[in-house]
Every structure is written in C-alpha cells, then in structure tokens.
Amino acid sequence: KSLSCKIILLTYIMIKSLSIIFPVFNEELRLKSSLDHINSFLKKKKKLKIEIIFVDDGSKDNSYNLIDRYIKKIHSKNKTKFKVIKSKSNLGKGGALKLGIKKARYDWILTTDIDMSVSLFQISNWIKKKSINNKHSVYFGSRSHKKSIVKRNLLRKLLGDIGSFFIFVILNIKIKDTQCGYKLYKKRYAKFAFSKLKNCGWDHDIEIILLLKLKNIEIKELPVKWTHKDNSKVNVFLDPIKMLIGMLIIKFRYA
C-alpha cells in the first residue's frame, strides 16, 4: 500500500500546474452549466496550480459577456488564474486553441470542449489510474478506447468510424479517435505543434498529430467517459466533407 501511494504521489508531482483552454463559439445556452462544472472542479483541486483560458472565437451571442462576468465574480474567491481572449472573427476551433495555447503559462496544457462532454474530472481519473506516466508523451482522450464509456447516437458513431477509416487510408494515422477534444500536452509540445498549425478548422487535430510525429513525440490514447450534449456546432453532413478536403490539403502539405 505504501509503495502504491508513493507511485501515485510521483504521478501527481508530474502535474504541478495546469492550463485549461476552452474554445467558445456561440455557447450562451450551455455556459451556465459549464461554468458551474468548472467551479466544482476548482473547489476539489485546490492543491493544483491552475489557469483557465477561455477563447471566444468571434461569438455573435452573449458568450463573451457571460464569461467576463463569471471571471470578475469568481476571481476574488479563487486563486486560479483566469483569462478571456476575444477574437474579432471566427477562426475555427484550431485557430481558437492556437490563440489560447500561445497565452498558456503552466507546465501542462489541457484542451477541452466547453460543453463538458468529457468532465474536467477525467484528468483526475487518469492520474488515479497512473495513466499519465511519461512527461515526454501527449495524451489524447479516445472514445474508441476499449475502456471508454460513450453515450452518442448511431449516426455520429458511424460518421466517426468512417472518418477514422479515411484518416488512416489517406494519411496513415493509426490514432483511433483524432477528434475527441480532450487532450493533454506538456507545454513545450503544445506550443511547438500549435505554432506550426495551418489548418484551423475541425481538421486541426489531424495536422497536430502529423506535427507531433515529425518530432517523434509519442501520442497515447486514454479512455474517457463521453456524453453527447445537445446544441453541438458539428454539422454531421457538411463538416465531414470539409474534413475530407482538409485531409487532402494536409496530405499535400506533408507529402
């Protein structure tokens, strides 16, 4: 038991500080529950040095004002560092993350979706299971992992499987789930990859993988508990076509 505790402690020591980056685009309807979730996480992670970075990706609704008010309200009660970045135009998810990662200061960087389809507490589970065991690796949440618990409709699963097939055939990427938004990087790896990023839409994840491969940085897929949330920005008909075009552009760029 003592040895086990020491191993877990060493794993915790590896993550002393964490930057969490949320891309936000027209999320007014979902923000309240998401901000409540962030509060719950911060209350239970007081020993971990955390900064939260919201990147408003050209929202046309009240998202920015809601986040701004939240930060002003919570800042006096919490030692967590907060930042909100406002983009004048919609850059795409990859572009928003690129802005956030450029501003991130802490040793580890977690990128995740504001809808909380994967809970912030997932990282606690990874640590508890001793999954974060190498500071030279990047960790991708994977809905395709055999230990993942996934709640999504059949159409989205089918589209995900088709997408993974084309990603493998066109780009020889063997990562089973490139599109899960829950990803953990050592700071230097995130800053390297996103500084080189050209594709800023939903296909940015694919380019990030290729950039990491160029530097021989290992990517480990880890299980997640993932729940589909309503009001998703993903267009199940148009976005797969855009992603296919993006894949061909990426292939040409990295050929």
Indicate whether 3 pLDDT > 50.
Answer: no
Q: Which CA distances in Å does 31 have to 37, 64, 154, 161, 228? A: 10, 10, 26, 29, 16
Indicate whether 5 pLDDT > 60.
Answer: no
pLDDT band at 76 (very low <50, low <70, confident <90, very high): low
pLDDT of residue 233: 65
pLDDT band at 236 (very low <50, low <70, confident <90, very high): low
Mean pLDDT along residues 226-246: 78
pLDDT of residue 142: 97
pLDDT of residue 13: 46
Indicate whether 112 pLDDT > 50.
Answer: yes
Indicate whether 8 pLDDT > 80.
Answer: no
Mean pLDDT along residues 157-186: 89
pLDDT of residue 7: 45
pLDDT of residue 9: 44
Express each pLDDT in 178-205 by its tens digit. Answer: 999 999 999 999 999 999 999 998 889 9
Express each pLDDT in 20-38 by its tens digit. Answer: 999 999 999 999 999 999 9
Average model confidence (pLDDT) across the chain: 89
Express each pLDDT in 48-72 by its tens digit. Answer: 899 999 999 999 999 999 999 999 9
- Percent of the chain at pLDDT exceeding 90: 65
pLDDT band at 240 (very low <50, low <70, confident <90, very high): confident
**Whole-model pTM?**
0.89
Q: Which CA distances in Å does 194 have to 134, 139, 204, 233? A: 21, 15, 9, 22
